[in-house]
């Protein structure tokens, strides 16, 4: 009976985690001189350099194509396009040093004290809402810390639209996102969606866009 209850609780917990939506936050900055009326929204993608023309790049190009279609743009399909669309992205791995208190075998605080890990410099310590610049009440004047490295991933997506006739730039958007998720293909759909949120948007204004990713999507 005890084993059955344990299995049931474990299954319920797994279902609960599996049903949780994920929020992807991005910082978006747009600059544009978008015409009030534009009759022809046909476009072609700018040809990337040979080293950038990868299968991954093409998959993200398809994501941009889908968002353009939602805004009423259409692929020129060999005809003379009115617009040219350029896209680039980068992913940079950023190691972050994390400093946390080292627990001793003589005293291990209960979770209800709310002790959180300390990140940053060495001259501040926070314990469950209590702050001391000099010493820790539980550890004495010589606290012990452990240092670890946590990898974060900084991503940048840029999309630009210009006139094919005279090369005049009409729209530029830059999306920044930093997370611990190392999978760029998993995050990129949200970044592309964020780039076109409220298109063309207010020029020269940075904003935070949150995209909710439902389970299984």
pLDDT digits (tens, 9 = 90+) for 62-93: 999 999 999 999 999 989 999 999 999 999 99
CATH code of the domain occupying 21-94+153-213: 3.30.160.670
**The predicted structure's pLDDT at residue 63:** 98
With a CB cutoff of 8 Å and minimum separation 6, the contacts of 102 are: 144, 145, 146
The residue with greater pLDDT, 171 or 22, is 171
Write out the residue limits of the CATH 3.30.160.670 domain(s) in the chain. 21-94+153-213
**The predicted structure's pLDDT at residue 101:** 82
Q: Could you give the count of Cα atoms lying within 13 Å of 205 in the half-sphere of its Cβ?
A: 9
Q: Judge whether 32 and 202 are in contact, CB under 8 Å.
A: no
> Tokens 């439902």, residue?
214
The CA–CA distances, whole Å, from 189 to 59, 64, 87, 107 equal: 10, 9, 14, 46
pLDDT tens-digit readout, 175-217 = 999 999 999 999 999 999 999 999 999 999 999 999 998 766 5
DSSP string, 133-171: SS-BTTTBSS--EEEEEEEEEEEEEEEEEEETTT--EEE
């Amino acid at each position: 009976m005890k084993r059955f209850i344990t299995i049931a609780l474990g299954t319920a917990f797994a279902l609960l985690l599996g049903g949780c939506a994920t929020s992807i936050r991005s910082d978006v900055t747009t600059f544009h001189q978008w015409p009030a009326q534009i009759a022809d929204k046909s476009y072609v993608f700018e040809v990337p350099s040979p080293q950038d023309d990868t299968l991954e790049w093409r998959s993200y190009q398809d994501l941009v194509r889908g968002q353009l279609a939602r805004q009423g743009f259409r692929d020129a399909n060999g005809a003379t396009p009115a617009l040219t669309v350029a896209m680039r992205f980068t992913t940079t791995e950023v190691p972050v040093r994390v400093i946390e208190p080292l627990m001793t075998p003589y005293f291990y605080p209960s979770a209800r004290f709310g002790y959180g890990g300390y990140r940053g410099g060495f001259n501040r310590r926070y314990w469950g809402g209590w702050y001391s610049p000099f010493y820790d009440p539980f550890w004495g004047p010589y606290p012990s810390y452990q240092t670890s490295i946590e990898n974060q991933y900084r991503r940048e997506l840029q999309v630009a639209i210009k006139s094919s006739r005279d090369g005049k730039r009409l729209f530029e958007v830059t999306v920044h996102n930093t997370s611990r998720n190392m999978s760029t293909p998993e995050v990129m759909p949200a970044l592309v969606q964020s780039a076109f949120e409220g298109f063309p948007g207010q020029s020269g204004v940075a904003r935070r866009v949150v995209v909710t990713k439902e389970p299984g999507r």
